Amino acid sequence: MRAIVLPRFGGPELFEVQDVPPPTPGPGQVLIRIIASGTNPVDAKLRQDGSWAGLKPPVVLGYDASGVIEQVGPGVTDFKPGDEVFYTPEIHQNPLGTYAELNTVSASIVAKKPPSLSHEEAAAVPLAAGTAWDAIVRRLQLRVGETVLIHGGAGGVGSFAVQIAKAVGARVLATSGPDNLETLRKLGADVVINYRSEDAAQVALRETGGQGVDAVFDTAGKNVIPSLPATRAFGRIATILGFNGDVSAFYPRNLTLHGVFLVRERRRLEELTALIERKQVRPLVERVLPLEKLAEAHRQLDSGHGRGKVVLTVGRP
Amino acid sequence: MRAIVLPRFGGPELFEVQDVPPPTPGPGQVLIRIIASGTNPVDAKLRQDGSWAGLKPPVVLGYDASGVIEQVGPGVTDFKPGDEVFYTPEIHQNPLGTYAELNTVSASIVAKKPPSLSHEEAAAVPLAAGTAWDAIVRRLQLRVGETVLIHGGAGGVGSFAVQIAKAVGARVLATSGPDNLETLRKLGADVVINYRSEDAAQVALRETGGQGVDAVFDTAGKNVIPSLPATRAFGRIATILGFNGDVSAFYPRNLTLHGVFLVRERRRLEELTALIERKQVRPLVERVLPLEKLAEAHRQLDSGHGRGKVVLTVGRP
């Protein structure tokens, strides 16, 4: 099968189109013919050096896909060949990602593709929207009527977080650079904040009469500590990145900090599908490129300035 | 009335016995004749410099008391003179604490004294046990069958935390210096850890088959970051102090950090009374001193090595 191989860790120019042996599904696994593969910031991090995740080059990266079941492994009863599905495979020590024509994955983390989405749209969903759901619903437990501040609201995870927070019934304050403020408005943000020219914490305090927001979600990094004074007593802050510094301000006001890292499960994808089919959530696809242009997609990931997602077309439905 | 006044911020030698005008209860307040006053580490911090809490010397410190209702203010119907009560007054901008013969306080944060406790024992409860309850029950939501690691298990807050965690039905790993290991055992700790000679995180991993504990409570400070690798995925960590450093290890395993600071409410005291009367929780009183020996109590607070609490006798029942 055709795959994009990374022969060693480094820059986007290293990617090579290669013909590699197709995988075969083991017990509990399905073999998927990939139609579209998503890209995520973690791909660029792994390309640079994926040893922290147990990866050893040569590897095929890619952790989001939409496609068609080609074959089911022993014991798999909930799918049949021809089913259209989407999923995000595990990263750790997985040498074959979704930048390839075929991929095997545990059936337990695969779900039927949302019918109203194209494969390109569906491939933009699992990792980013799953992470946004885990942060907003599972960990922050955001409730109707609450106010949330989302840092990086136009990015891959952030654009889903804004929509999921609106679906919850919350009031959404979201930040982006000046180019993406209109995107934030279209996603449904109630208050848009240009982080280049405004202090998000000050806006959050002003918008809540000095009380602070109920919850904060940092998808961009380095916003946890600056957000502490803008969060109400017993407020919650979630981040998908680590942070470093003086956290002393969090205990006198009974704040809670959640570190969020997606747990793959079919149920999460089905929960997202329900929102997608009700038109409450829509993936924000910025560009669609053929698989061969992967290096170009990675250059955009490296820039750190995305508006939604870059998706790769791999095959035909 | 007789009170111990701190004329300016500084050392324990500054305390002076003075005769000061007695307070009168405003609407919703009660006037309490104090029989015993507790001492807490925060008292020493405020004595050194209480400007962060809005205190301006001269002040009377002290934030735990047990005593008798002397008079009720306008609108108070749930207490009458002669009722035996215990409570922890608010700190911020409160110039009159419990190192005095009389004190006024909002009736809403006062509760009937646990019948089975002396006033000296009851005065050791509200702030420390309330904080331990908030951490273990409200924030960590520790459940039966879970394992918790409590740093500083023989201290004021820690000794209550060990007992409350046992009452919850959890397995308790607790740390102390070598002098207090026997105290930890008597409080009910299942595994005692000498923090001078053992690495608490390694013991926690060993005791949980490498999985990590479900929850951690740091009552001593500087144990949050070292505890991250000893906490299971989706585990929870609570602290009553700030911390500073690299928190990157908390997000790949979906950890949650809770900053805990007691919220005064009568209900909390009633919940504790239920545990006390069922003999599930008992205050650990190390020393009882007359109010005049306050400087000696503060020298012990300054040393940072307490076994439970030092309580001051103020009046007679």
With 80 as the cut, is the pLDDT of residue B118 above it? Answer: yes
Task: Name the closest residue on chain B to residue A251, using Cα atoms.
Answer: B259
Structure letter (DSSP) for residue B307: S
Q: So what's the ipTM on this one?
A: 0.92
Identify which of A134, A242, A250 has the shortest CB distance to residue B248.
A242
Backbone angles phi, psi at A134, to 5 degrees: -55, -40
Tens-digit pLDDT profile for residues B123-146: 999 999 999 999 999 999 999 999
Structure letter (DSSP) for residue B304: T
Tens-digit pLDDT profile for residues B292-308: 999 999 999 999 877 88
Q: Determine the pLDDT at residue A202.
A: 98
Interface with chain B: mutation pick from A217, A248, A250, highest number of B CBs within 10 Å: A250
What percent of chain A lies above the pLDDT cut of 70?
100
With 80 as the cut, is the pLDDT of residue B267 above it? Answer: yes
Average pLDDT over residues B206-221: 97
Q: Which structural domains are found in chain B, ordered by start?
A: 2-125+283-313 (3.90.180.10), 128-259 (3.40.50.720)
Average model confidence (pLDDT) across chain B:
96
Average pLDDT over residues B157-162: 97
Q: Which residue has the higher pLDDT, B283 or B307?
A: B283
Low-confidence ranges of chain A (pLDDT < 70): none
How far CA B292 is from CA of B9, B15, B42, B301, in Å, comes to: 19, 9, 19, 16
Separation CA B217–CA B140 (nearest Å): 8
Residues of A in contact with B250 (CB under 8 A): 242, 257, 259
Provide the shortest C-alpha distance from residue B251 to chain A (in Å). Answer: 4
- Backbone dihedral region for residue B284 (phi beyond 0: left; psi -120 to 50: alpha; all else: beta): beta
* Cβ distance of B261 and A254 shorter than 8 Å: yes
Q: Determine the pLDDT at residue A304.
A: 80
Provide the shortest C-alpha distance from residue A226 to chain B (in Å). Answer: 14
Show which residues on chain A lie within 8 Å of chain B, measured between beta carbons.
134, 139, 239-261, 263
Average pLDDT over residues B147-163: 96
Provide the shortest C-alpha distance from residue B190 to chain A (in Å). Answer: 28
Tens-digit pLDDT profile for residues A212-241: 999 999 999 999 999 999 999 999 999 999
Q: What is the DSSP string of B247-285?
A: -GGGTTTT-EEEE--PPP-HHHHHHHHHHHHTTS----E
Instruction: Please report the sign of the dihedral spanned by the C-alpha atoms of residue A174, residue A179, residue A182, residue A183.
Output: negative
Residue type, A167: A
Q: Determine the pLDDT at residue A223.
A: 96
Q: Determine the pLDDT at residue B94.
A: 85
* Cβ distance of A251 and B260 shorter than 8 Å: yes
* Cβ distance of B243 and A247 shorter than 8 Å: yes
Asked if A108 contacts A266 with a C-beta cutoff of 8 angstroms, the reply is: yes
Residue type, B48: Q
Residues of A in contact with B257 (CB under 8 A): 247, 250, 256-259
Provide the shortest C-alpha distance from residue B155 to chain A (in Å). Answer: 19
With 90 as the cut, is the pLDDT of residue B317 above it? Answer: no
Tens-digit pLDDT profile for residues B218-240: 999 999 999 999 999 999 999 99
